[in-house]
Structure formats: structure tokens, C-alpha cells
Structure 1
Amino acid sequence: MKKKRTIMIFPRFHNIGVINDIRKKYDPLADKVLPHITLVFPFESELGNVEIIEWLSVSLKDIKPFTLRMSGFSKQSDVYEDYLFLNITEGKEVITGIHDSLYQGILEKYKADYPYEPHMTVGRPPSREKTDSIIESLGSDKEIYETTIDTISVEMIGVNEESIIEIEYKLYR
């Protein structure tokens, strides 16, 4: 049976409540999935959990827990809409390396043809006209979000777009 999955990092910031408040205002998925950084975008496959765990252990064998620091907001636009991003200020290279490593081997056929930019989406404004003013209002937020990342999560996306965590893979020192 095919499952729709994604692979993510769920940062555990001491001040995550600030991010949750922003997402409640601007992100329609705020009630479906916790704040996250996507490593492997949604894909449908018949891969079993054992196969995925084996691939994680191979592709992440040299990855140690690392510091993630985020601060400030920016926008990203595609042809359909704008997105609000919380910017990564430390750990971006490690995350990009994890992304690149995971998209080899059994997940290679699911890789998209666009460049990867590590980020945390905190919103999708209701219209493009409102994006800049929202970013301006968030500009007063000087919070620094920092944590140690030691877990990579595999999520199954439920029929109502809800997040169901199937695997939590620990990074070891």
C-alpha cells in the first residue's frame, strides 16, 4: 500500500510559542503539523518503515547532533502564492547536506528539479498584497530561536493533511 510521507526536522526551541502564535495567524497548516524544516518533500511510495530506517542509518551515518539557530523573516514566492519563512542563521550547511544525502539511493527518484533552500515556513499570506506588510510587522520580532538537532522524523501525511510521526531517527555523537 502506498503511503504519502515526508522527512523533517521538528526543532524544539524554548521559545517555540512565538513561532506557534505566528503560524496560527498565517499558516493554514498550523493545526495539522508542528513547526518544521522539510528535508524530503512529500512523496508517495510503498517503502516500508524498515527500508526507510535502513536508508536513514546509511545516509545519516556521519551526521552528528548540530546547532540550529533561526532569526528574522523573509518571503519566498512561487507562481501561485507567497510564503513567509523564518530564516536559518546557523546549521544551514548541515541541513543541506542531510537533504542531499537523503535524496540519493532509494529516495533519488522523488527529488524535485528546483534548488533546495533550508527554511521553516511560518505562513502563507491570504494575498500577495499583504505579504510585505506582514513581514514588516514581523520585523519587530528580534527573537533568536536556537536548539540542538538530534532527531530526524519521518511523517506520514494523513487523509486530512494531518501529521502522523512514524519514525524518529536519533543522530549520535
Structure 2
Amino acid sequence: MSTKYGIVIFPSKKLQDLANSYRKRYDPHYALIPPHVTLRSGFEASEEEIKELTETLHGIAKKHQPFQINASKISSFQPVNNVIYFKVEPTSQLEELHRELNDNIAGEAPEYNFVPHITIGQKLSNDEHSDVYGSLRMQPVNHEEVIDRFHLLYQLENGSWTVYETFRLGKE
């Protein structure tokens, strides 16, 4: 039986609290997963495959040093979909980690180009989306922090996500 997995970065509590102040109102997935940057979206794997994958992920984590992220503004994926998010400035370290993770996981390539972000609103109607985005996009977001780990999550039957294993960057 296969389970659904994903790989994410969880930002600091400060940035999560800020994201959650919006997500409570605008994101129906609010209760299912904390605010995060997706490095590899949902993929299916068996117990065996995940054991092998965790070995690979430890190897990848060792090769990458901790790096800084900067959440710079509130943006939207419209017209592709009605998702409102904190834009995380792409850096070579973040893009390299994303690429390597995706190159090492079987399954289909990600549906969209990698746009690092933390979702704060989704599944809004077109009208709601334009109202909410209209009022939020002027809010200043300027948050920098160092990321030193990423997480392999799995999905529970109720749709929520929980940490399977944590990988520290640059560490044995």
C-alpha cells in the first residue's frame, strides 16, 4: 500500500504566525499543515521506497549548507489559480536543493515551475480572490531567516500532514 509524501521547509515560528494570521481566514488547508515552502509536492511511495529515499535525502542534506530565505511580498498565482502567497525570493541554494530533490524522486515532474512561496490563501472564488488580494498585496512583508533543515512529510487519512523525518543541512 502506498502513502502520499511531500518535502517541505517549515519557516520560523515568527513567519508561521504571520502566515497563519491570514490562513485562518483564507486557507481551507489551515488545519491540515503548518505554513511551509514546498520543495517536492505530493508523491506516492511504498514503505520500501521511502526507506531508500530517506537514505538519499540524508545524502542530499549533507551536501547543502544552511541558507537564507527572504519572504519579500504578498503575491498571487492568478490567473493559473486563486492562490495568494508570501513570495520567497529564489536563491541559487534554494533552487539547487529543489532541483536535486526532484531529480532524485521517481514520479512525474512537478506540474509548475518552482516558485518558492508560502501559501496564505487558496480555493477562493474569483471575487473573493480579487478582494482579498487587493487588500493584502500592499501589506509589507520583509522577513529574512536562515533555513537549516527540510522535512519529509506523509499524509494521514484525514488529509492532514505530519513529519516522517527531518533532514539537517550540512550535518552528518
Fold shared, TM-score > 0.5 on shorter chain: yes
Q: What is residue 45 of structure 1 aligned with on the other side?
A: 45
Q: What is residue 151 of structure 2 aligned with on the other side?
A: 153
- Shift of residue 62, structure 1, vs aligned partner: 2.1
The DSSP-based 3-state class of the residue aligned with 1:117 is coil
Q: What is residue 102 of structure 1 aligned with on the other side?
A: 101
* 2:91 partner letter: K
The DSSP-based 3-state class of the residue aligned with 1:39 is strand
* 1:157 partner letter: Q
The percent identity for this pair of structures is 25
Q: Is the 8 A contact 1:7 1:155 kept in 2?
A: yes
Q: Deviations over 1:64-103 (max 9, x none)?
A: 0111110211110366x410011113x5332221111011
Matches of 1:140 and 1:52, distance apart in 2: 41
Structure 1: any 5+ residue segments left out of the alignment? none
Matches of 1:127 and 1:165, distance apart in 2: 31
- Shift of residue 125, structure 1, vs aligned partner: 4.9
Q: What is residue 87 of structure 1 aligned with on the other side?
A: 87
Could you tell which deviates more after superposition, 10-19 or 148-157?
10-19
Structure 2: any 5+ residue segments left out of the alignment? none
TM-score (norm 1): 0.87
Q: Is the 8 A contact 2:32 2:161 kept in 1?
A: yes
Q: What is residue 56 of structure 2 aligned with on the other side?
A: 55
Q: Is the 8 A contact 1:6 1:42 kept in 2?
A: yes
TM-score (norm 2): 0.88
Q: What is residue 77 of structure 2 aligned with on the other side?
A: 76
Matches of 1:113 and 1:142, distance apart in 2: 29
The number of residues matched between the two structures is 170
Say if 2:9 is the partner of 1:9.
yes
